[in-house]
Amino acid sequence: MAGLSRKKLQLPKSVLEMKFMKRTKERIEKELENIHGHEGLYSNIITNEMRTATGNYIPEASFIYCENLIDGRLSFKGMNPEIERLMDLETPKEEESGEMQKDVSDEVLVKNMNKFKTRKRQSLTPSKYNVPSKKKK
Amino acid sequence: MKASVGDVVLPGDYCEEISAVGEKAKVIIGPGLQKEIDHVYVTKAGILKKRNPNTYWVDNYQKRYIPARGENVIGVVVQKAGDIFRVDVGSSTTAALSYLSFEGATKKNKPDVQIGDVVYAKMLVASKDMEPELVCVDSHGKKGRMGVLSDGFVFKCSLNLIRKILNPHCPLLESLKNEWPFELAAGMNGRIWIKANTMRETIALGNAILGAEYLSDEEIKSMCTNIATILAGHVS
Amino acid sequence: MGVEIDTKEFKLKPMKCEFNFLSKSDGSAILSQGETVTLVSVNGPLDIKMQSQSIEKSTLEVLFCTKGGKPSVADRYKESIIRQTCETAILGSLYPRSGITVTIQELEDYGGLLSCALNCTCLALLNSGLAMRFVFAAISCAVDESGNIVLEPTQEQATSARALLNFVFESRNKDLLTGFSEGSYSESAYEEALERCRAASDLVFTFYRDIISKYSNVI
């Protein structure tokens, strides 16, 4: 994967051969040499484990994420319409997602799934059947 | 001493549960915990708490603010120095607030902020080795809920009270929000700014917030009803 | 030499403590151990003068005020003991270039003032919310004329004693953090006193935990 992406970035040889590309060519060669040189230099010290190792402990200095605190700037009963608009923008989202879930009620879903299963048992090609389309808003 | 979630912990206690989880999965260790070579140690006195997924912290009592990245705070502008404002947020050093980190601010169009103004801003840089840095815009360049707080009344309280009232399960704001119009900004640095239409309402709001510190949820509800009836009785 | 010690046989002076005794300081505690009472206030991290800042850790300043108010050499000695003890306990590297001030006020002295001041300081630090490596407990004891060891001696016992020993233990491994003594005593007496005090420190740690749990339930 890495090789592929590296190749993509490379300029075609024919372009590099051109006279005005001399400097770029030199630079690319130097870079390649650097990469290979470093890899060779430390290959016996750097283990695979070192390359992939990550700490499992993430320190977090703030209580906000731990206790899931709300934003501290609030306005109620029209004291500051601007803030209330922002507060509204955040809250109804949850309600909408709640409605979305109720788009197909649990019972309907169970019924449909049962139908679907029985059909599936009857024939091995359930794809032919159209699953009852979900209710539209 | 060994400690587990929900226990009262003292500095020097360690939690094996966290280390055990940390062997396999990512663990977030919040305030009051520190990873040392052998264990995760407690550094503050309080109650060890846990929230899924794998987040641990110590709920401790504290009055002094230590800046932490991403927290919204209330500060007072104390100095204008070149292209930054120095803002007192209650920590050991003042925080820097660039005049360019306001919505729509440019080199020519400077925001109207004076010494003594109260600002509600977000901690952008908060490292123990550096001066904390504040911003009054979000990542989209919008001011959102931040900016200068005009009028109103500021008071200080413990950091616990801020966390208590900003907790989604706290009944305080729920009980007050339908009583009278008001606006508030609670900074994680232990400062609260409130604003209401009349002096009486402002004082009532301030008393309700300060009174909630050592009360249970039920007591908070009844206190709010009390304050609301007293207020209504006097106003009408 | 190992000494078999049962914690139950010990009785320390009754301890009473109140947190947040002072409303303006970042952390404060008042502690009474028997008749001896001290009040400690902790402030910090604070902004301090450039020349006293350290880029590695916080600068700790301890002030000891006697009841009479007159500063003396003995107080400087107490200050330095308390400062050194606190410095190991506080995770000062988390608050570089800042200062932490600990102010101790003697209210009543009926023996064991220094250990009371140390324990009170620890409680005030817990109240202030400063990050600490461990908590510490100070225990005093006396070696009387006949060579017996008396834990937490009273004023009379202390004045008639042959030697006075003070030990401070940390909570992680119950290791000795600070030790200071006056008078003359045998090596075996020292060993025995150390082990007895080490065992008695458990009582102080339990007391800390009780106080914190009472306090945490209210918040």
Residue among B15, B22, B20, B21 at smallest CA distance from B1:
B15
pLDDT at A50: 73
pLDDT digits (tens, 9 = 90+) for B37-61: 888 999 999 999 998 888 999 999 9
Query: pLDDT-derived band of residue C31, with 50, 70 and 90 as boundaries?
Result: very high
pLDDT digits (tens, 9 = 90+) for A45-73: 777 777 766 678 888 888 888 888 988 89
Cβ neighbourhood burial of B51 (10 Å; 0-12, 13-18, 19+): middle
Q: Determine contact: B188 vs chain A, CB below 8 A.
A: yes
Q: Which of left, alpha, beta for B114 (phi over 0: left; psi -120 to 50: alpha)?
A: beta
Residue among B209, B185, B194, B181 at smallest CA distance from A73:
B185
Across the interface, of C27, C97, C208, the residue whose CB is closest to B10 is C208
Q: Determine contact: B43 vs chain C, CB below 8 A.
A: yes
Q: Determine contact: C218 vs chain B, CB below 8 A.
A: yes
Contact B55/A66 with Cβ under 8 angstroms?
yes
Task: Please give the model's pTM, rounded to 2 decimal places.
Answer: 0.81
Contact C121/C106 with Cβ under 8 angstroms?
no
Written in H, E and C, the secondary structure of chain C is CCCCCCHHHCCCCCEEEEECCCCCCCEEEEEEECCEEEEEEEEEEECCCHHHCCCCCCEEEEEEECCCCCCCHHHHHHHHHHHHHHHHHECHHHCCCCEEEEEEEEEECCCCHHHHHHHHHHHHHHHHCCCECCCEEEEEEEECCCCCEEECCCHHHHHHCCEEEEEEEECCCCCEEEEEEEECCCHHHHHHHHHHHHHHHHHHHHHHHHHHHHHHHHC
pLDDT at B188: 93
Cα nearest neighbour of A69 on chain B: B167
Q: Determine contact: A89 vs chain B, CB below 8 A.
A: no
Which of B5, B92, B155 should be substituted to probe chain C, the one whose Cβ sees the most C Cβ atoms within 10 Å? B92
- Which residues have CB under 8 Å from B98's CB, separation 6+? B83, B84, B85, B133, B135
Neighbours of chain C (3+ CB pairs under 8 A): B
H-type alpha helices, chain A = 2-9, 13-17, 22-42, 48-52, 63-67, 81-90, 92-102, 106-122
* Cβ–Cβ below 8 Å for B8 and C213: yes
Q: Determine contact: B78 vs chain C, CB below 8 A.
A: no
Mean pLDDT of chain C: 89
- Which residues have CB under 8 Å from A37's CB, separation 6+? none
Query: pLDDT-derived band of residue A102, with 50, 70 and 90 as boundaries?
Result: low
What is the β-pairing status of strands C163-170 and C136-143? antiparallel
* Phi and psi, residue B220, nearest 5°: -60, -45
Integer Cα distance of C124 and C105 in angstroms: 12
Contact C63/C76 with Cβ under 8 angstroms?
no
- How many other CB atoms sit within 10 Å of the CB of residue B107? 8
- ipTM score of the complex? 0.90
pLDDT at B31: 92
Q: Which of residues 90-119 of B touch A (CB under 8 A)?
A: none
**Per-domain residue ranges for chain A?**
2-51
Across the interface, of C43, C46, C216, the residue whose CB is closest to B8 is C216
- Which residues have CB under 8 Å from B122's CB, separation 6+? B70, B71, B72, B73, B134, B135, B136, B138, B146
Mean pLDDT of chain A: 73
pLDDT at C4: 44
* pLDDT > 50? residue B236: no
Q: Determine contact: B152 vs chain A, CB below 8 A.
A: no
Contact B195/B183 with Cβ under 8 angstroms?
yes
Integer Cα distance of C4 and C182 in angstroms: 25
- Which residues have CB under 8 Å from B61's CB, separation 6+? B45, B46, B158, B160, C19, C127, C129, C215, C216, C219
Structural domains for chain B? 8-60 (2.40.50.100), 72-149 (2.40.50.140), 153-235 (3.30.1370.10)
Interior/surface letters B167-189, b for 16+ CB within 10 angstroms, e for the rest: beebbbbebbeebbebbbbbbbb
pLDDT at A8: 52
Kindly state which CATH superfamily the domain C13-218 is placed in: GHMP Kinase, N-terminal domain (3.30.230.70)
* Phi and psi, residue B40, nearest 5°: -95, 120
What is the average pLDDT across C191-209? 91
Greater pLDDT, C30 or C9: C30
pLDDT digits (tens, 9 = 90+) for A69-78: 988 899 999 8
Contact B230/B179 with Cβ under 8 angstroms?
no
Question: What Å distances lie between residue A106 and A116, B177, B182, CA to CA?
Answer: 15, 35, 41
pLDDT-wise least confident of A101-105, B66-70, C107-111: A101-105
Q: Which of left, alpha, beta for C34 (phi over 0: left; psi -120 to 50: alpha)?
A: left
What is the β-pairing status of strands C163-170 and C176-183? antiparallel
* Phi and psi, residue B201, nearest 5°: -70, -40
Query: pLDDT-derived band of residue C68, with 50, 70 and 90 as boundaries?
Result: confident
* pLDDT > 50? residue B197: yes
Percent of chain B with pLDDT over 90: 60
Which residue type sits at C128?
Answer: S
